[in-house]
Amino acid sequence: MSVDRLPGVVLSDHFLEVPLDHAVPDGERLTVYGREAVAAGREHEELPWLVFLQGGPGGASPRPLGRDSWLVRALDGYRVLLLDQRGTGRSTPANRQSLALRGGPHEQAAYLAHFRADAIVRDAELFRRELLGPGGRWSVLGQSFGGFCATTYLSYAPEGLREAMITGGLPGLEASADDVYRAAYPRVARKNAAHYERYPQDIERVRRIAAHLREHTVRLPGGGQLTAEAFQALGILLGTGTGSYVLHYLIEGAWVTGPSGPELADAFLQAVEGHLSYTAAPLYAVLHESIYAQRSVDPKGTGWAAERVRAQFPQFAVDAALEGDRPVLFTGEMIYPWLFDTDPSLRPLKDAAHELAERTDWPDLYDTARLAANEVPAAAAVYADDMYVDADHSLDTARRIRGLRTWVTNEWEHDGLRVSSGAVLDRLMRMVRGEI
């Protein structure tokens, strides 16, 4: 086991072989990686374990640069396992390169069907037994999609948990993908309104960029196409505490004058690609709608719900906005089928993604009866203005998990755990311990 010492923290590697399909324990196996973090000087102490479940789907755990971010608080009392969920980071990869080895779209989709919250929780349970022994229990911290996974943990393996803390990630237990997006588009529209109220000069700037993209084929440095709809997807920034500022600065530097007149600047296109490309996290796009899929809720599959539901919100139509004098609205955390044409890293996975969208036999992810009888101390931060996870869905779920305490706040946005220097985690820790 390799050990790395950074300022204030000691990091160690853990690798574990797990079944691809936990229902077939003797079948194909893959590797899951976890990075242990402990405060410098406390490596040999008997500390309680905290497993961190990252957002996404398809996001690797954070790479510490020292005792930073929420680890500032966590390392006061825990030995932390930063879990790279299957398919991400140093776990067995799942991307266009590795998936090509599995065969065609059908084989790829069948493989990826095992990469949801239920499999992630079972992986975590095997890690728990490996590190703590069969009778050991640890705490779980779930951010965003990681909170969805933590809720699945409470449903199917609560015996492994001492306590559960969730931030920006209480899912709707019985919300279909259509329900999720019908609630999401109005929230995104409100974020747009707030952005344009803050930066009214961006209204014409955005209209000008969108009109240019309607009239010209624009390529990003990596070969992808920047369409007007792809440009709208920059609205995903609006769900973070500083996202509106980042978007504004990006837009204000969009143009440069070249030999043929004004054109979109290379620096602008490079920055846009950095925000929009799924090269580093293809599973986010491929699996995104499937995180909501449950056969008891979506018996017909998700079927590209974000695209289908978008038709119910014509204010997001680019052409109608440009034909009139309305602002062009940005979209949010939505995955559309055309992404698999415009993003080169997703193009080889297009058919597999379509097959997953049409899949109808997704197992249920939550056990409502078991959650109603929950005995694990649990607390959740619900961000009142969260653009990514609907607060009403979260609060409905909170009422249905016995003993779960909620902290509803608009002091932080969805990224509160990461940017609050431990303040969000500190409050959740005190809540699960009954100190507040």
Same domain assignment for residues 259 and 307: yes
Domain endpoint, select from 323, 358, 393: 358
DSSP per-residue letters across 304-345? SHHHHHHTT-GGG-HHHHHHTTPPPPP--S---TTHHHH-TT
Domain total in the chain: 2
Same domain assignment for residues 13 and 156: yes
Same domain assignment for residues 273 and 144: no
What confidence score (pLDDT) does residue 311 get?
Answer: 96
What confidence score (pLDDT) does residue 2 get?
Answer: 83
Reply yes or no on whether 144 is catalytic: yes
Residues 6+ apart with CB under 8 A from 208: none
User: What's the one-letter identity of residue 306?
Assistant: A
CATH at residue 133: 3.40.50.1820
Are 387 and 181 in contact by the 8 Å Cβ rule? The answer is no
Of 116, 132, 125, the C-alpha closest to 56 is: 116
Burial class (CB in 10 A: 0-12, 13-18, 19+), 187: buried
Same domain assignment for residues 257 and 278: yes
Of 116, 108, 96, 168, the C-alpha closest to 348 is: 96
What confidence score (pLDDT) does residue 1 get?
Answer: 67
Same domain assignment for residues 227 and 330: yes
Domain region containing 48: 3-173+366-432
Same domain assignment for residues 217 and 298: yes
Residue 181 and residue 245: Cα distance in Å, rounded? 25
User: What's the one-letter identity of residue 142?
Assistant: G
DSSP at 87: B
Enter the tokens of residue 168: 């920006």
Reply yes or no on whether 179 is catalytic: no
Of 74, 14, 13, the C-alpha closest to 39 is: 74
76 to 40, 41, 140, 378, 399: CA distances (angstroms): 11, 12, 16, 20, 31
Same domain assignment for residues 183 and 331: yes
Helix-strand-coil split of the chain, %, nearest 5: 45, 15, 40
Per-residue pLDDT of the chain (436 residues; tens, 9 = 90+): 688 899 999 999 999 999 999 999 999 999 999 999 999 999 999 999 999 999 999 999 999 999 999 999 999 999 999 999 999 999 999 999 999 999 999 999 999 999 999 999 999 999 999 999 999 999 999 999 999 999 999 999 999 999 999 999 999 999 999 999 999 999 999 999 999 999 999 999 999 999 999 999 999 999 999 999 999 999 999 999 999 999 999 999 999 999 989 999 999 999 999 999 999 999 999 999 999 999 999 899 999 999 999 999 999 999 999 999 999 999 999 999 999 999 999 999 999 999 999 999 999 999 999 999 999 999 999 999 999 999 999 999 999 999 999 999 999 999 999 999 999 999 999 999 999 9
Same domain assignment for residues 44 and 167: yes
Are 377 and 403 in contact by the 8 Å Cβ rule? The answer is yes
What confidence score (pLDDT) does residue 3 get?
Answer: 87
Residues 6+ apart with CB under 8 A from 191: 235, 238, 239, 244, 330, 332, 387
Same domain assignment for residues 380 and 251: no
Phi-psi region of 57 (alpha: psi -120 to 50; beta: other; left: phi over 0): beta
Same domain assignment for residues 295 and 203: yes
Among 144, 176, 244, 277, the active-site one is 144
Domain endpoint, select from 358, 389, 408: 358
User: What's the one-letter identity of residue 130?
Assistant: E
Same domain assignment for residues 82 and 14: yes
Residues 6+ apart with CB under 8 A from 27: 19, 20, 21
Domain endpoint, select from 308, 333, 358: 358
Same domain assignment for residues 244 and 122: no
Among 139, 202, 414, 420, the active-site one is 414
Burial class (CB in 10 A: 0-12, 13-18, 19+), 134: exposed
